[in-house]
């Protein structure tokens, strides 16, 4: 295996670890409610885009209306979101996050920050700067292949506000558009 292949494999593994394992850990630490990663992402979307219809959420999440509906049904059952019929069109419902859903997001952010602080304590400031520069370069080179930059922005949650790659590449930060 050459250096490029080794590096590509390390990036793949690290992406999987961060996305699947660590995010799942954060969710499990944030709540005793057995919510999935998709359900958590719906909560995150609803905390930014309120209220929203099922089809609008499905479009942002890039999952089917049926899958979105099942996830929303679970979140309603857990009292993490509400579903209210629109006055203008009684066939369509507004989905909104509840205070309990917002609390899970806040707890998730606390857990994530504690974990991040613990990990970052293992690195020198110089190592952090070098690693950040390399990751930024990798993301910039990878970014044009992404079809939906709004999903990237929703993952950011304003944490990259001062160093927004989407804003740098596309001239805007989608997060700021959603937050308006």
> What are 20-77's pLDDT values in tens digits?
788 889 999 999 999 998 899 899 888 887 678 888 888 888 889 999 999 999 999 9
The larger pLDDT score, comparing residue 91 to residue 60, is at 60
The residues pairing with 93 across neighbouring beta strands, listed in sequence order, are: 85
- Cβ neighbors of 99 (< 8 A, separation 6 or more) are none
Looking at residues 117-131, what average pLDDT do you find? 93
Q: How far apart are CA 84 and CA 114, in angstroms?
A: 36
Residue 146 has pLDDT above 60, yes or no: no
Query: Token pair of 70, please?
Result: 């099942």
CA 132 remoteness from chain centre: 20
The answer to whether residues 57 and 51 touch, using CB atoms and an 8 Å cutoff, is no
Looking at residues 93-122, what average pLDDT do you find? 93
| CA proximity to 97, closest of 110, 106, 88 | 106
pLDDT of residue 155: 53
Q: What is the CATH number of domain 1-122?
A: 1.10.10.10
The residues pairing with 95 across neighbouring beta strands, listed in sequence order, are: 52, 83
CA angle 31, 34, 37 (to 5 degrees): 90
The answer to whether residues 104 and 94 touch, using CB atoms and an 8 Å cutoff, is no
The larger pLDDT score, comparing residue 13 to residue 33, is at 33
Q: Which regions of the chain carry the CATH code 1.10.10.10?
A: 1-122
Rounded to 10 degrees, what is the CA torsion of 146, 149, 150, 151? 40
Looking at residues 100-118, what average pLDDT do you find? 94
């Amino acid at each position: 295996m050459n250096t490029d292949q080794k590096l590509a494999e390390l990036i793949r593994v690290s992406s999987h670890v961060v996305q699947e394992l660590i995010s799942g850990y954060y969710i499990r630490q944030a709540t005793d409610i057995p919510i999935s990663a998709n359900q958590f992402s719906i909560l995150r979307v609803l905390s930014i885009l309120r209220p929203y219809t099922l089809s609008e959420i499905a479009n942002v999440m890039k999952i089917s209306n049926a899958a979105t509906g099942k996830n929303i049904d679970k979140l309603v059952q857990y009292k993490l979101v509400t579903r209210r019929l629109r006055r203008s069109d009684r066939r369509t419902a507004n989905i909104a996050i509840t205070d309990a859903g917002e609390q899970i997001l806040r707890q998730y952010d606390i857990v994530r920050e504690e974990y991040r602080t613990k990990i970052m304590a293992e690195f020198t400031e110089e190592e952090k700067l070098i690693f950040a520069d390399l990751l930024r370069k990798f993301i910039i080179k990878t970014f044009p292949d992404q079809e939906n930059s709004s999903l990237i922005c929703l993952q950011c949650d304003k944490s990259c506000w001062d160093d927004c790659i989407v804003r740098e590449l596309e001239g805007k930060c989608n997060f700021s558009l959603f937050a308006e």
